[in-house]
């Protein structure tokens, strides 16, 4: 059978042509994981090989023998990164170099380095990798990452979510458990810098995708940080008493963040064009207010006053080039204050629902606190 771009079978075939792949299957729900890309989930579907493919994949880069030293945007709908991106404790800039796009580098360990497969079957795949990173202040970090991805059978969905699905709704769901271990001899603290587990999920944009990030109305401080890459234009962002909304058409580079004082462990998106509702649940550390600050400042006044939840819409860079287009839902652990041998955990659960709006609406209302119609009307 021939598949076209946008179908899961097309993406799966392209990936299998160039890499080893692990497919997790539960009925018609499927997802594909690639060890060469750090065990990232590349894409998923509710409906077998002919179904819609949710993850954004950069097909132009697949199989490339010439890798960039800066960043290789292969894509993938859930990948593991290390925070922070900017500041004196950044892992993405060499010590002393100005924090500009030209100097930005993604460490190979979380970009192009294969991770070891510890276990793999039809339901679960586990990966592990040990490596060393040096931050912008010159401090070295020895770490080991263990990542386990498991598909959730749709018939068990009610064990994970407080909802009852209409029989017409199609779903694919999975969870990832991510562990960061300090394998060095020294403690990670506010003087050395502390890494965080940073999860980024890249999806297909469309003219009718709206990101939805609920927040605590009674929380302290600013509701949303909306100036990561310059102020988000007013026609691309909206805020009400329940959530922040961001346009995700892949045409304007913009990012928002929610502080741990305002954050909730849920965010999502609705694609009205394809009638897809995406929900992302994550662990949110209530015991610590220390979250790394990823702003591109060489010396931050408050390096541990960063965001717990982020959302990103890709768009052209200053030189007219573009990484995507895609959009991202992101979550982070709190800063890892780990002594030698200690570990930090962070998990995510991803749910994609397809169906008509009447059937999807109760899910949006229950999990995001807003109706499908409200989401559509905001931007």
Query: Given this structure, which CATH class describes domain 71-378?
Result: mainly beta
The answer to whether the beta carbons of residues 169 and 359 sit under 8 Å apart is yes
The answer to whether the beta carbons of residues 206 and 213 sit under 8 Å apart is no
Residue 101, pLDDT score: 87
Percent of the chain at pLDDT > 90 equals 93
Q: What is the mean pLDDT of residues 293-300?
A: 94
64 pLDDT above the threshold of 90: no
194-217 confidence digits (pLDDT tens): 999 999 999 999 999 999 999 999
Residue 84, pLDDT score: 98
Q: What is the mean pLDDT of residues 174-190?
A: 98
Q: Give pTM, 2 decimals.
A: 0.96
What's the number of CA atoms in the CB half-sphere (13 Å) around residue 96? 1
Kindly tell me the number of DSSP H helices and DSSP E strands found in the chain.
3, 18
Q: Give the integer Cα–Cα distance in Å for 58 and 79.
A: 14
Residue 228, pLDDT score: 87
Q: Give the integer Cα–Cα distance in Å for 112 and 117.
A: 15
Residue indicated by tokens 């006044």: 301
Residue 74, pLDDT score: 94
The torsion angles phi and psi of 73, rounded to 5 degrees, stand at -80, 75
Question: What angle (nearest 5°) sits at the alpha carbon of residue 240, between those of residues 238 and 244?
Answer: 50
129-160 confidence digits (pLDDT tens): 999 999 999 999 999 999 999 999 999 999 99
11 pLDDT above the threshold of 90: yes
Q: Give the integer Cα–Cα distance in Å for 66 and 87.
A: 30
Q: Where are the domains of the chain?
A: 71-378
Residue 183, pLDDT score: 98
Confidence of residue 83 (pLDDT cuts 50, 70, 90): very high
Per-residue tokens: 272: 């009205």
127 pLDDT above the threshold of 90: yes
324 pLDDT above the threshold of 90: no
262 pLDDT above the threshold of 90: yes
313: closest CA among 374, 379, 377, 366? 379
Q: Residue 186, Cβ neighbours under 10 Å: how many?
A: 13
- What's the chain's average pLDDT? 96
Residue 275, pLDDT score: 97
318 pLDDT above the threshold of 90: no
Residue indicated by tokens 């999990």: 367
88-126 confidence digits (pLDDT tens): 999 999 999 999 989 999 999 999 999 999 999 999 999
Residue 229, pLDDT score: 86
Confidence of residue 273 (pLDDT cuts 50, 70, 90): very high
Q: What is the mean pLDDT of residues 31-52?
A: 98
Q: What is the mean pLDDT of residues 183-193?
A: 97
């Amino acid at each position: 059978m021939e598949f076209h771009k946008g179908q899961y079978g097309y993406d799966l075939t392209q990936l299998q042509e160039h890499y080893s792949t692990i497919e997790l299957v539960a009925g018609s729900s499927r997802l594909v994981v690639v060890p060469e890309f750090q065990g990232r989930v590349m894409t998923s579907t509710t409906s077998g090989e002919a179904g819609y493919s949710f993850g954004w994949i950069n097909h132009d880069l697949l199989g490339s023998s010439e890798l960039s030293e800066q960043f290789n945007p292969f894509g993938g709908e859930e990948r593991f990164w290390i925070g922070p991106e900017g500041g004196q404790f950044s892992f993405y800039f060499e010590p002393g170099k100005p924090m500009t796009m030209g100097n930005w580098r993604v460490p190979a360990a979380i970009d192009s380095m294969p991770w070891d497969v510890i276990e793999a079957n039809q339901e679960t795949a586990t990966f592990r990798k040990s490596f060393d990173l040096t931050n912008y202040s010159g401090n070295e970090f020895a770490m080991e990452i263990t990542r386990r991805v498991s598909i959730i059978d749709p018939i068990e969905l009610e064990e994970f979510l407080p909802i009852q699905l209409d029989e017409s709704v199609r779903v694919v769901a999975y969870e990832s458990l991510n562990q960061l271990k300090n394998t060095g001899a020294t403690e990670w603290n506010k003087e050395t810098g502390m890494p965080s587990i940073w999860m980024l999920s890249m999806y297909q944009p469309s003219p009718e995708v709206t990101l939805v990030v609920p927040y605590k109305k009674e929380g302290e401080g600013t509701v949303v940080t909306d100036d990561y890459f310059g102020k988000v234009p007013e026609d691309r962002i909206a805020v009400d008493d329940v959530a922040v909304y961001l346009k995700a058409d892949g045409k304007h580079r913009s990012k928002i963040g929610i502080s741990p004082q305002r954050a909730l462990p849920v965010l999502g998106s609705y694609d009205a064009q394809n009638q897809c509702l995406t929900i992302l649940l994550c662990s949110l550390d209530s015991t610590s207010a220390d979250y790394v600050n990823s702003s591109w400042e060489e010396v931050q006044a408050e390096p541990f006053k960063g965001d717990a939840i982020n959302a990103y819409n890709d768009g052209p860079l200053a030189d007219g080039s573009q990484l995507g287009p895609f959009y991202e839902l992101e979550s982070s652990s709190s800063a890892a204050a780990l002594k030698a041998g200690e570990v930090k955990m962070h998990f995510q659960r991803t749910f994609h629902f397809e169906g008509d709006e009447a059937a999807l609406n109760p899910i949006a209302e229950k999990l995001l606190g807003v109706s499908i119609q409200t989401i559509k009307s905001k931007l």
